Amino acid sequence: MQTATMNGDLIIGTFVKEEKNRFLCLVEVSGIETVCYIPSSCRLSNFMIFDGRQVLLIPNKSQKTRTEYSVFAVKNRRRFIPINFSIANQVIEEQIYSRRFSYLGKRKNVIRETMLDGYKADLYISETKTIIEIKSILSFEAETVFPTVYSERALKQLIKIKELLLQGYKVHYMLVSLNPDVKQITINQHMRDFYEHFRECIDLGMHCCGYSICLHSGIPTLHSKINIC
């Protein structure tokens, strides 16, 4: 029987299976199968086999939620990997003023999710007209590719980014791995439309960089740079 234990506000359980609803799963908590929320629009089985793995759960404090817990991270080898893609945006926003991002220049006025001519920037540095687009990556291999699946939204973003680059905006396209064991990300040339638009953006001056995130005592923090090919 799996016993629930606390790690700060986090509870350890055992993943049982995904439900038909892609946002729900079954997790064994103190020997009881409990329906939990998965904060991901993609099915977890697209990335790895989760069944039988330890997971970290966050208690849902709102009484309006239909589940008692949300899945926060899954254990892979000796570490837990967060699965909530929005974590990457949060970590980059928190760290944006650090020396690690000094190459961005002035960062006194960083705005979250601002609209620029029909494009919503994850982060925008107004004093230098710098757009930061953040893409989360969930992979359990040392080397991975991006993107792994076709995304019309990502294509439309690149088309809009090209227009903004031509208007004089600066763009930093950040690929952020939720797994610190990822050491290299290759832009997927088999996604031909994406790759062609991506290369056009690079030719127009878009900068692409990669980072990884690591959990320290249950808190996600920026870990290291990742090579982009």
Model pTM above 0.85:
yes
pLDDT digits (tens, 9 = 90+) for 27-76: 999 999 999 998 876 777 777 788 899 999 999 887 677 899 999 999 98
Q: Check if CATH label 2.40.50.580 holds for domain 6-82.
A: yes
**In b/e form, how buried is each residue of 53-76, taking b as 16+ CB within 10 angstroms?**
eebbbbeeeeeeeebebbbbbbbe
- Mean pLDDT within 125-147: 95
Question: For the chain, what are the domain ranges?
Answer: 6-82, 86-228
DSSP summary character for residue 179:
S
Q: What is the reported pLDDT for 143? A: 96
Q: Which fold has domain 86-228?
A: Trna Endonuclease; Chain: A, domain 1 (3.40.1350)
Q: What are phi and psi of 87, to 5 degrees?
A: -60, -35
Average pLDDT, the chain: 91
HEC string of 140-175 equals CCCEEEECCCCCHHHHHHHHHHHHHHHCCCEEEEEE
CB-facing half-sphere around the CA of 93: CA atoms within 13 A: 14
